[in-house]
Amino acid sequence: MRHLIDIKDLSLEEIQELIKTAKDIIANPNKYCEKCKYKKLATLFFEPSTRTRLSFEAAMMELGGNVLGFSEANSSSTAKGESVSDTIRVVGCYSDIIAMRHPKEGAPLVASLKSTVPIINAGDGGHNHPTQTLTDLLTISIEKQRLDNLTIGLCGDLKFGRTVHSLITAMSRYKNIKFVLISPDELKIPEYVKEEILEKNNIEYVETTDIEEHISELDILYMTRVQKERFFNEEDYLRLKDYYILNKEKIKNAKKDLCIMHPLPRVNEISTEVDDDPRACYFKQARYGKYIRMALILKLLEIK
Amino acid sequence: MNIDSIKNGIVIDHIQAKKALEIYKALKLEELDCSVALITNAKSKKMGRKDIIKIDKNIDLDLNILGYLDPNITINIIKDDKRVEKYHVELPKQIINIIKCKNPRCITSTEQELSHIFILTDKEKRKYRCKYCESLSDE
């Protein structure tokens, strides 16, 4: 039995296989509409995340399966003091696969050690969110027709942004990748990401505070939100949240085939005037998220 | 001060001065039923002052943790009054319940029954990361 806790749990071949399946689902949805008939997905969301939960639920429904679960800890037995290990053993009696979101880092790993059914990490605090990374990889693969030879700009909160850390980890495994890391000084990429991922793998990168300085070189611009819930101090959040706002002016010198991505939800870091630009891919990215989750559910349930 | 040499047993030598008690506790030597001598602040040509622990029995002891606590420690195995083996302990691949994860967002902060497990991720820089949240042991 396999789980997905960290994107590193998957080999490059397995990621390629998931992307291939997702693309096949997009091309032939009818072929997959009963693949998970009579199977149940439990969505255990110990902290709210509406879009991730809906994406998982829609994915299971499109495979012909059923869903059950809860969307916040208050409505689960956690409020009564039950441990993650106990919750997971009980839910395993009622479902075939579990997607789990938890505010504590490492909670899905704890769950996977006790579970009798596959666990998918749907986000654990500021730590991992592997299905977001798979979504990003599918988006890049569809929009750019490749996962190598890319210059990727990452902009915004690079310190707390787990999607950014996971994406760097995942993309560092492909050939000829260059990163442009754009952030205010207070939200720069952590040293350990530079040392243990970028430098260890000899990945070229530059750090800058200016979004326009390298915009013309980028194949991908990945925008992120400054997340209020990651700050202990409200003042710091208010000071940094509007640091970068992407608008038409800022992308005027960008490549014609730039792919602008964002894990969503956005607050105001991308102006709505960019939404109609053909280079804006973030809503397509959300749709691709459902397809890659469908592919993942099939893989973990070992359904061909 | 003289401490008799042991006939069969283990001598943990070159412990940083005044750290013997920490080593004693980490190895749970209080649970042994044989004699254990703790020598602290002994004179040492190499170290100036050092601590030594002598265990008066050849027992199967998991000494891996010593590599993390004090890499300069030397282990001597004594059989029939002779030293038959001398070695330094390598860094253990994982450390269980010796250090605690300090990350307030880590699952170990709320699930009390979980062991605190740290994995060696960088041997050269002696870096350990929490198995659950991947925070560094000294962060």
What integer pLDDT is reported at residue B6 of this predicted model? 87
Which backbone phi and psi does A234 adopt, to 5 degrees? -60, -40
B10-31 average pLDDT score: 93
Would A233 be classed as within a structural domain?
A: yes
Report DSSP letters for A152-182, one per residue. Answer: EEEES-TTT-HHHHHHHHHHTTSSSEEEEEE
Please tell me the total count of domains within chain A: 2
Let me know whether B51 and B114 are in one domain: no
What CATH number should be reported for the domain holding residue A97?
3.40.50.1370
Would A28 be classed as within a structural domain?
A: yes
CB atoms B133 and A192 under 8 Å = no
Q: Tell me if residue A129 is catalytic.
A: yes
Q: Tell me if residue A279 is catalytic.
A: no
List the domain range (segments joined by +) for residue B125.
94-130
What integer pLDDT is reported at residue A222 of this predicted model? 98
- The beta-carbon neighbor of A110 closest among B103, B122, B132 is B132
B123 Cβ under 8 Å from any chain A Cβ: no
Q: Tell me if residue A284 is catalytic.
A: no
Let me know whether A63 and A162 are in one domain: no
SS3 A255: coil
CB atoms A127 and B134 under 8 Å = yes
Please answer whether residues B132 and B99 qualify as being in contact, where contact means their C-beta atoms are separated by less than 8 angstroms: no
The tens digit of pLDDT for each residue in A206-238 reads 999 999 999 999 999 999 988 777 667 888 878
- The beta-carbon neighbor of A105 closest among B105, B121, B136 is B105
What percent of chain A clears pLDDT 90, i.e. is strictly above it?
80
Let me know whether B77 and B36 are in one domain: yes
Let me know whether A203 and A167 are in one domain: yes
Q: Which residues contact A123 (CB under 8 A, 6 or more apart)?
A: A49, A52, A101, A102, A129, A132, A162
- The first and second tokens of residue A208, run together, are 């800058």
Give the least confident one: A210-214, A239-243, B49-53: A239-243
What integer pLDDT is reported at residue B139 of this predicted model? 62
List the domain range (segments joined by +) for residue A97.
7-129+289-300
Would B135 be classed as within a structural domain?
A: no
Let me know whether B14 and B80 are in one domain: yes
Does residue B1 have a pLDDT over 60?
A: no
Would B68 be classed as within a structural domain?
A: yes
Let me know whether A175 and A110 are in one domain: no
Please tell me the total count of domains within chain B: 2
What integer pLDDT is reported at residue A67 of this predicted model? 98
What integer pLDDT is reported at residue A240 of this predicted model? 76
What integer pLDDT is reported at residue A33 of this predicted model? 97
Let me know whether A52 and A99 are in one domain: yes
CA distance B116 to chain A (A): 12
Would A1 be classed as within a structural domain?
A: no
What percent of chain A clears pLDDT 70, i.e. is strictly above it?
97
Relative to beta strand B74-79, strand A66-70 is unpaired
Let me know whether B47 and B115 are in one domain: no
B139 Cβ under 8 Å from any chain A Cβ: no
Task: State the Cα–Cα distance between residues A237 and A246, nearest whole angstrom.
Answer: 18
Let me know whether B64 and B41 are in one domain: yes
Would B138 be classed as within a structural domain?
A: no
A16-30 average pLDDT score: 98
Please answer whether residues A87 and A43 qualify as being in contact, where contact means their C-beta atoms are separated by less than 8 angstroms: no
B103 Cβ under 8 Å from any chain A Cβ: yes
* More confident: A243 or B79: B79
Let me know whether A39 and A137 are in one domain: no
Q: Tell me if residue A52 is catalytic.
A: yes
The tens digit of pLDDT for each residue in A127-169 reads 899 999 999 999 999 999 999 999 999 999 898 888 899 999 9
What percent of chain B clears pLDDT 70, i.e. is strictly above it?
96
pTM, 2 dp: 0.88
- The first and second tokens of residue A29, run together, are 């949805």
The tens digit of pLDDT for each residue in B75-119 reads 999 999 999 999 988 899 999 998 999 999 999 999 988 999 999
